[in-house]
Amino acid sequence: MGNAGVCGKTADVAQLQDELTGALIGLARATDNAPDVNDGTWRLMIEGLFTTVTNVSFNEKTLRELIDRVHAEKARLVPDCSDCAAPCGRAADYDMTNLWNAQEDIRSLKSLILFGVRGMAAYAHHALVLGYTDDAVNDFFAKALFAVGEDWGMEELLPIVMEVGEKNLKCMALLDQANTESYGTPAPVTVPLTVEKGPFIVISGHDLHDLKLLLEQTEGRGINIYTHGEMLPAHGYPELKKYAHLKGNFGTAWQNQQKEFAELPAPVLFTTNCLMPPKASYADRVFTTEVVSYPEMTHIGADKDFTPVIEKALELGGYAEDRMLTGINGGNTVMTGFARGTVLGVADKVIEAVKAGAIRHFFLVAGCDGARPGRNYYTEFVKQTPADTVVLTLACGKYRFNDLDLGTIGGLPRLMDIGQCNDAYSAIQIAVALADAFGCGVNDLPLSMVLSWYEQKAVCILLTLLYLGIKNIRLGPTLPAFVSPNVLQYLVENFGIAPITTPEADLKQLLQ
């Protein structure tokens, strides 16, 4: 085994993920003009891309099986590659070393495309399990993968980069529709961080469908369910909230799990990315499902029979007494559910407050969290926002500050959690509606975006914001390492992207 990377993956796993990506590019080539591309083809392409997202699969066996499935599907589409009708004249796997060894600007643009569609595939997968698909989104996965495998220059790749943003907006809209039509429109809710005595299960990740199935299977069993990480916004959905045993939220940010799960008298179910290599102290309590996989961990298959998780919860028994837990800043509750339905439902009050001077500025402080130093910037930034400003947040970066009580403005909390990372769609709709109400463009609103950066799903959201022409985004704690100086200069010149500095300096500048 080679050395492990930041996310905990070995060099062997990373190599297999490259092989899987190269096979997916071969499959994308094979779909061009193939007569019998079907729903199974797209499902496999989406699953394959999602599997390569950070902190999803650490399992060499399942990666090899997925590579074999991709090859089998390609062989079905083009049984004899020499007779292939694809314009490229080939459907071979792509050698990813060609990408990593490419000229730095080409490597940078192709990385933006690849990482962007990996994140987009996560959203497409969540929608897919609820029965929602979009032909334009599916077609673009093949188009983007095809582009990564071609020997193209910056002029040909730049439009594809922007199209990732366009199609990801469509994909987030699809998932938004899937979630709200399946589970209702989110409403604000206060979520306790206290864990009640007795058996319980912690469920992490993003997949609301898995949570719904777990709630159904545990109803009446005397087992409480607690969300973790990006599953927190589930509490805002009426069709999930109605289950009395969906009790609260356990733990803080995903990168603290190795410490917070160490003495946990309960199982943890991982439904999507967020898994870190489990410590020996709790490895027997980790369960995975869908594309998440880790060697020797119990995996819940397509039948979604959570009996092993339920039996483990009953065996461990939970805490003997209620446990009063807190967030990073000492708060014992958090709020969520402020999606566009809620915010736009009181848009007249918000607009009135802005016109009256009660609300001076909006901040969207959002994005992915991580363990590296410098991320306390976001906590300090939110703490220092003036009392006449509103902080909107989403994704897992909010755990840095979501237990803070910032008070209220016009009957609304100053700190409003819109939801998961894909709920950037809701944030965009709020911004567009406010711009329409004030008769201006989004860039003319008293709105600043201060985003934290970590993994692929941050790429597709950033590209969506750029596609919409949103400028002057602050990005940190460091700028993405795979963006070359020339590509970064392009983003600075055309979109005003800037790195964060200090909370004090950035607030002063953004409030000018």
**What's the CATH number where 388 sits?**
3.40.50.2030
- Determine the pLDDT at residue 86: 53
Q: Which domain holds residue 151?
A: 11-159
Separation CA 232–CA 326 (nearest Å)? 15
Asked if 343 and 405 sit in the same domain, the reply is: yes
Asked if 305 and 350 sit in the same domain, the reply is: no
Region 370-393: mean pLDDT is 91
C-beta contacts of 149-158 below 8 A and 24+ residues apart: 149/25, 149/26, 149/28, 149/29, 149/88, 149/94, 150/88, 152/106, 153/106, 154/105, 154/106, 154/109, 157/106, 157/109, 157/110, 157/113, 158/109, 158/490
The strand ranges marked E within 271-384 are: 286-289, 298-300, 333-336, 361-367
Asked if 312 and 342 sit in the same domain, the reply is: no
Q: Are 59 and 8 in contact (CB under 8 A)?
A: no
Domain assignment of residue 178, yes or no: no
Asked if 152 and 196 sit in the same domain, the reply is: no
> Is residue 171 part of an annotated ligand binding site?
no
Domain assignment of residue 175, yes or no: no
Taking 80 as the threshold, does the pLDDT of residue 96 lie above it? yes
Domain assignment of residue 322, yes or no: no
Question: Would you place residue 480 in the very low, low, confident or very high pLDDT band (cuts 50, 70, 90)?
Answer: confident
Question: Would you place residue 6 in the very low, low, confident or very high pLDDT band (cuts 50, 70, 90)?
Answer: very low
Domain assignment of residue 344, yes or no: yes
Separation CA 422–CA 259 (nearest Å)? 27
Region 219-233: mean pLDDT is 97
Structure-block tokens of residue 221 = 């069993």
Taking 50 as the threshold, does the pLDDT of residue 293 lie above it? yes
Region 6-21: mean pLDDT is 84
Domain assignment of residue 1, yes or no: no
Asked if 289 and 354 sit in the same domain, the reply is: no
The pTM score is: 0.94
> Is residue 216 part of an annotated ligand binding site?
no
Region 207-227: mean pLDDT is 98
- Determine the pLDDT at residue 453: 79
Question: Would you place residue 39 in the very low, low, confident or very high pLDDT band (cuts 50, 70, 90)?
Answer: very high
> Is residue 396 part of an annotated ligand binding site?
yes
Domain assignment of residue 269, yes or no: yes
Separation CA 232–CA 455 (nearest Å)? 19
- C-alpha closest to that of 34 among 402, 42, 391, 22: 42
Domain boundary among 159, 179, 204: 159
Percent of the chain surpassing pLDDT 90: 84
Taking 90 as the threshold, does the pLDDT of residue 363 lie above it? yes
- Determine the pLDDT at residue 4: 43
> Is residue 460 part of an annotated ligand binding site?
no
Asked if 382 and 501 sit in the same domain, the reply is: yes
DSSP β-ladder status, 333-336 and 189-192: antiparallel
Asked if 155 and 200 sit in the same domain, the reply is: no
Asked if 354 and 469 sit in the same domain, the reply is: yes
Domain assignment of residue 49, yes or no: yes
- C-alpha closest to that of 109 among 161, 33, 146, 66: 161
Asked if 347 and 304 sit in the same domain, the reply is: no
φ and ψ at residue 418, rounded to 5 degrees: -80, -30
Separation CA 442–CA 432 (nearest Å)? 6
Domain boundary among 159, 181, 205: 159
Asked if 386 and 456 sit in the same domain, the reply is: yes
Question: Would you place residue 5 in the very low, low, confident or very high pLDDT band (cuts 50, 70, 90)?
Answer: very low
Instruction: List the Cα angle 129/173/476 in 5-degree steps.
Output: 100
Q: How many structural domains is the chain composed of?
A: 3
Domain assignment of residue 220, yes or no: yes
Separation CA 480–CA 30 (nearest Å)? 32
Domain boundary among 114, 144, 159: 159
Asked if 342 and 298 sit in the same domain, the reply is: no
Asked if 150 and 202 sit in the same domain, the reply is: no
Could you tell me the strand order of the sheet in which 361-367 lies?
415-419, 389-394, 361-367, 447-452, 474-476, 498-499
Q: Are 419 and 233 in contact (CB under 8 A)?
A: yes
Cβ partners under 8 Å of residue 409, min gap 6: 353, 358, 359, 387, 388, 390
> Per residue in 391-419, is it b (16+ CB within 10 Å) or e — as a string?
bbbbbbbbbbbbbbebeebeebbbbbbbb
- Determine the pLDDT at residue 454: 62
Looking at the DSSP bridge assignments, the partners of residue 269 are 203, 287
> Is residue 206 part of an annotated ligand binding site?
yes
Could you tell me the strand order of the sheet in which 224-227 lies?
246-249, 224-227, 200-204, 268-270, 286-289, 298-300
Taking 90 as the threshold, does the pLDDT of residue 383 lie above it? yes
237 burial (CB, 10 Å; 0-12 / 13-18 / 19+) is: buried
Question: Would you place residue 90 in the very low, low, confident or very high pLDDT band (cuts 50, 70, 90)?
Answer: low
Tally of CA atoms within 13 A in the half-sphere of 75 that contains its CB: 6
